[in-house]
Structure 1
Amino acid sequence: MSTTSLSTTRLAALTAAVSYTAVFALAVFANFFVRIGLIDPDNPESTMAAIRDQEGLFRLGLAAFTVIFILDIVIAWGLYVVLKPAGHAHSLHAAWFRIAYSVMLAVATVFLSLGMEVALQPSRLDAEVGMLMLNAFTVTWSIGLTAFGMHLVLVGVMMHRSGMAPRTLGIVLAAAGLAYIADSLLQISLVNYAAISSVMVVAVAILSVVSELAVTVWLFVIAQKKRPAKAAELLASSTD
C-alpha cells in the first residue's frame, strides 16, 4: 500500500465528512426553514406574499441549495476514492448516480428561483404560475432523488460486501436508498399519494438521517485513524 494512496484516501474521507456535515446543516435550513416554512401548497396567494415579505430569507435558501449541489459532487468524489478498493466500477457508478442527483437538484433550484421571480412581480404574473414553478422544484427534486437512492444502495452494498465499514451500516444505507426510490416513484405514480405521504416521509427521514450520519462519522474515523485491516488489504490489492 503506497503512502500516497493512504494519504489521498484520508483526505478524501475528511473532505467528504466535512461536506456531509455542511450539507446536513444547509439542508435543514433550506428545506425546512425556507421551503417548507414559506411555501403553502394549498394557498398560492399567501405563498407569494410570504416570499415577497421574506425575500432575503428565500434568497438565502436558494444559495443554500446551490451550495448543497456543489458539496454533493464533492461527496461523490470523496466516497468514490474511499470505496474504490471495494470495487472500482461499483464505486464509479455510485459516484455518477450522486452526480446525476446533484444536477437534478440544480435544475430544481432554478424552478425555485423562477417561483420567487413570479412572487416579486405580482402585477404581471398570476400566483398560480408562481406555484406551478415551486411545484416543479418538488417534482424535479423527487426525480433526482431516485438517482440519489441508487447511489445509497450501491454504497451500502459495497460497504456490506467488502467489510470496509460495519456491515449493518451498509444494510441501513441500502435500505435508506430503497426508501428514497420508493417514495419518489410513489409521488409520481400515485393519484392519492397524500394519503401515505406522512408515513413515507417519516420512514425516509429516519433511515436517511441515521444512515448518513453514521457514514459521516465513519468517514471522520477513516480520516483520523489508521485504516482497519480489511480496508488496508483491499487498498493494498488495488495498488498492486
Structure 2
Amino acid sequence: MSVFNDPTQRSFSRLTGAGYTAIAIFGAFAIGYVPSQIITDDPTTTLAAINDKRGLFNAGIGADGMVMMIEVMVSTMLYQMFRRVNETLAFAAMLARFGMVTVMAAMLMFQAGLSGMASGTIPADSALTELLLHMHHSGVWVWQIFFGLHLLLLGQLVCRTEALPKIFAYGLTIGAFGYFADSLYAFAFPNADLLGWVRVGLLVIVTLSEVGFALWLLIRAPRIGATTPTV
C-alpha cells in the first residue's frame, strides 16, 4: 500500500492517528467495560457470569485481539515517524510497546482457562479460578511498566520535534509515571493512600494527553519526519 511508503507524509500520520484512536476504543471496551460486567470478587460468581454472558466475554477477547494487532502496526509506524528525530529513543519506544503487547497476549491464556472452567470443559475449582484472576490482574500491572516506559520515551520524542505541541510532550512524560505508580501501588503499597491518589491524577493526565496526541495525528496529520529535529 502506497500510504506506507513515506512516513513523512500526512496520510501516514493520519493513519497512525486512526490506529491509535482505534486502540483506545477497543481497549476501553476490552479492559474497562467487559470486566466491569463480569469480574467480581467471588470466583464462583465470576465463572457464572462468564457462562451467562458468553457473547460479551468472547467479544472482549476479540477486542483484545484487535488491540494487539493494531498495536503492532501503530508501534512500527510511530518508530518510522520519529526515527528521524532520534532513532535510539524511537527504537527503544517501539520495543517497550512490543513488550506490552507480548504480556497482553500471555494474559489471553488466563482468560482461556477461565472460559474452560465456566463452560465445564475444565473442572471448576474456586482456588484455581482465583489464581487465574489474580494472574490476569497482575498481567495488567506488568504491561503497564512497559507502556509507561514507552510513553516516557514518546514524550521525549514529541518534545524534540516542532511538528507537535509541547503540551503533549509534557503530558505524556509526566503522565507516564501514572502507570509506574499504579503498578507500584498494586504490587507493593496497596495501603498507601497518597500514592493511590497520585496515580489517579497522573493517569488522568496521561489519558488526556494520549487522546489529544492521537486526535492531533488523525485530524492535523503533521509531517513529523519532514521537520528538522531539535537537539
TM-score bracket, normalised by the shorter chain, equals: 0.7 to 0.9
Where does residue 146 of structure 1 map in the other structure? 145
Greater shift, 184-193 or 20-29, is seen at: 184-193
Greater shift, 148-157 or 14-23, is seen at: 14-23
Contact 1:115-1:131 at 8 Å conserved across structures: no
When the two chains are superposed, the root-mean-square deviation of aligned CA atoms in Å is: 2.6
Give the deviation of 1:203 after TM superposition.
2.5
Contact 1:118-1:129 at 8 Å conserved across structures: no
Gaps of 5+ in 2: none
Q: Distance in 2 between matches of 1:38 and 1:111?
A: 15
SS at match of 1:153: helix
From the superposition, tell whether residues 7 and 196 of structure 1 become closer, same or farther in structure 2 (CA, over 3 Å). closer
Greater shift, 52-61 or 178-187, is seen at: 178-187
Q: Distance in 2 between matches of 1:110 and 1:35?
A: 16
Where does residue 78 of structure 1 map in the other structure? 77
Correspondence 1:170 to 2:164:
no
Normalised by the size of structure 2, how large is the TM-score? Answer: 0.87
Contact 2:7-2:77 at 8 Å conserved across structures: no
SS at match of 1:85: coil
Question: Deviation string for 1:123-179 (max 9, x for gaps)?
Answer: 822133123212211101211110110000001011113333111110101112111
Give the deviation of 1:108 after TM superposition.
1.2
Give the deviation of 1:60 after TM superposition.
0.8
Gaps of 5+ in 1: none
Aligned residues: 227
After TM superposition, what 4+ stretches of structure 1 lie above 6 angstroms from structure 2? none
1:111 partner amino acid: F
Aligned pairs for 1:153-192 within 5 A: 153-192=152-191
Q: Distance in 2 between matches of 1:123 and 1:29?
A: 27
1:36 partner amino acid: S
**Higher relative CO (CA 8 A, sep ≥ 6), structure 1 or 2?**
2
Where does residue 48 of structure 1 map in the other structure? 47
From the superposition, tell whether residues 98 and 189 of structure 1 become closer, same or farther in structure 2 (CA, over 3 Å). same
Where does residue 219 of structure 1 map in the other structure? 217
Correspondence 1:20 to 2:41:
no
Give the deviation of 1:9 after TM superposition.
4.2
Where does residue 62 of structure 2 map in the other structure? 63
